[in-house]
Structure 1
Amino acid sequence: MPPIADARARVLVLGSLPGVQSLREQRYYAHPRNHFWWVMDQVFAIPVALPYAARVQELQSHGVAVWDVLASGVRQGSLDSAIELASARVNDFPALLDALPRLQRIVFNGALAEALFQRHVVPTLPTDLAALPRLRLPSTSPANASVPADQKLARWRQALEP
């Protein structure tokens, strides 16, 4: 899926690989139990009930870009733990990061996104881009039920607010 990004982006949110429902609908975080859009509603007052295209525009107006570390990979279902890492193909980050002149930090929606970025992307980046601050946040996935929603929200709010 292409990134949600424009030159206003100050924060880049990276997941690992879109889930089955997101791929089917061609919408990031399409699973109704994923907390991502709920968090965006709480942090930026972007109503979850808005049409997807309107939510994307609102998100961009707040300086937030969204993408995934992997462009493709073999996986049964939507769990990160099911990704066959040998099949993983990484997105073109040097091109994206060059197009985001205001970018201040990268945040990861979960541990696997961070690990994949560190292993496969950071070594390919020029020094200035590799030095961008990075922060792992609790996954908004419904599979991450061990972290209560209010705790997820607090961490995400701190990372996303200007």
Structure 2
Amino acid sequence: MTLRQKSSFNAVFDAHSRILILGSLPGDASLNAGHYYAHPRNAFWPIISQLIAIDLTPLPFAERYPLIQQYGIALWDVVQQASRVGSLDTAIQTPQFNPLDAWCRAQPQLQLVAFNGQAAAKYGSKLIPGYIEQVVLPSSSPAHTLNVSHKTEAWLTTLRPYLTT
């Protein structure tokens, strides 16, 4: 494999976003598909489906994003651009970060930043304004081998109180 420059997607959010879920940098399957969490074994969409009680997994991505926004969920990545071989967070080199501090300050309704895994938290925790609550969730990535039911329970318990319905 070759070291390649990779970039994150634009943030998915609206004026009602109360929860920002931050990944580190999209993996190759997501980059190739042009959408967040597109790897078929990533647990993100099944977990969010349980969280909002709507099965998002059969829907096109363009339909998933507006549905999660109805519940106050926004998506973005900590790393705006980096060099990386493959998809593992441990392979990220020379990261440049998204302007998280300014973005968060421009979202007065934002209450929680939830990092999708340790790498996102490692890179992003210092970039979030101190008045916004932060939590590290178990990574939804298939590379994180924690049982999916444990991942789901952690996500649901943490995020449910912040949902808008």
TM-score by length of 1: 0.89
Q: 1:110 aligns with which of 98, 105, 117?
A: 117
**RMSD of the TM alignment (CA)?**
1.2
Alpha-carbon distance in structure 1 between the residues aligned to 2:71 and 2:22 = 16
Secondary structure of the 2:62 match is helix
- CA deviations 1:57-112 (Å, max 9, x no partner) are 1100000001000001011110111111xx10000113321332211111100001
Q: Distance in 2 between matches of 1:93 and 1:83?
A: 19
The answer as to whether partners of 1:110 and 1:137 remain within 8 angstroms in 2 is yes
Which letter maps to 2:29? Answer: Q
Name the CA distance, whole Å, in 2 between partners of 1:43 and 1:90: 28
Structure 2 gaps, min length 5: 1-8
Structure 1: which amino acid aligns with 2:53? A
Q: What's 1:49 paired with? A: 58
2:65 paired with 1:39: no
Paired residues of 1:46 and 1:59 also in contact (CA < 8 A): no
Amino acid of the residue matched to residue 5 of structure 1? F
**Residue deviations 1:9-29 (CA, integer Å, cap 9, x gap):** 111100100111111111000
Structure 1 stretches lacking a partner, 5+ long: 123-128
Report the Cα distance in structure 2 between the residues aligned to 1:38 and 1:16, rounded to whole angstroms. Answer: 19
Q: Using the alignment, how far apart are the partners of 2:20 and 2:97 within structure 1? A: 16
- Among 8, 15, 38, the residue aligned to 2:16: 8
Matched, 1:67 2:67: no
* Aligned residue number for residue 143 of structure 1: 143
Q: Secondary structure at the match of 1:139?
A: coil
Spell out structure 1 runs of 4+ moving beyond 4 A.
none
The alignment of Structure 1 onto Structure 2 pairs a total of residues equal to 152
